[in-house]
Each structure stands twice: as C-alpha cells, then as structure tokens.
Amino acid sequence: PFVYDGAMNGNVFLAYVEQVLVPTLSEGDVVVMDNLPAHKAAGVRDAIEAAGASLLYLPPYSPDFNPIENAFAKLKALLRAKAERTIKA
C-alpha cells in the first residue's frame, strides 16, 4: 500500500510509480492513465517504459474508457430528479 496524507503532485505520484506500480509490471503491460497533471510528471513515462510496459493516456473526456463516469451521470440525473422545484421570491 501507498499512503500519502496530502495533495497529489508529480513528485508523490512518481514515488508511487517507482515504489508500487513498477514492481508489479511485466513486459508488454499497458498502463492507462487519465490526464491528471501529476500523471504527466517528469520520470513517470521513463519509469514505466523501463519496466517493459507502455503508457497510454486517455482522451480528455472518455466515459467509454472510464465506467465510473456512467455511474456519476446516473447519480446526477437522480439528484436532479429529486431536487426542489420551488422559486423563492
């Protein structure tokens, strides 16, 4: 496990990649990431590729590749349906 009490940044993410992710990678693995700026920190791609894996970034908005986006859309629709419909003067 990798626990960090604070905001994610490039240095923290690189440490995670080097200490946790890379040791689990095998030749030919593909690591898929979104476009969080920390994911593009210097050294991240090099560390992953040095393990024989490749790195693929998702397009900026890609719900087809990120199923949680579909769940969030349903939740938002439910919340909108239950929202108050009154207008205060």
Query: Domains of the chain (ranges plus CATH)?
Result: 10-82 (3.30.420.10)
Task: Give the per-residue pLDDT at 63.
Answer: 63
Q: Note whether 10 and 37 are within 8 A (CB).
A: yes
pLDDT tens track of the chain, all 89 residues?
A: 789 998 999 999 999 999 999 999 999 999 999 889 999 999 999 999 999 999 999 887 766 767 787 888 899 899 888 877 676 65
How many helices (H) and strands (E) would you count in the chain?
Answer: 3, 2
Q: Half-sphere exposure of residue 9, counting CA atoms within 13 Å on the CB side? A: 4
* Residue 8 β-bridge partners: none
CB 12 within 8 A of CB 4: yes
Length of the chain: 89
Q: How many CA atoms lie within 13 A of 42 on its CB side?
A: 0
Residue-level pLDDT at 60: 79
pTM: 0.67
The pLDDT score that the predictor gives to residue 82 is: 85
Query: Both tokens of residue 54?
Result: 């490749």
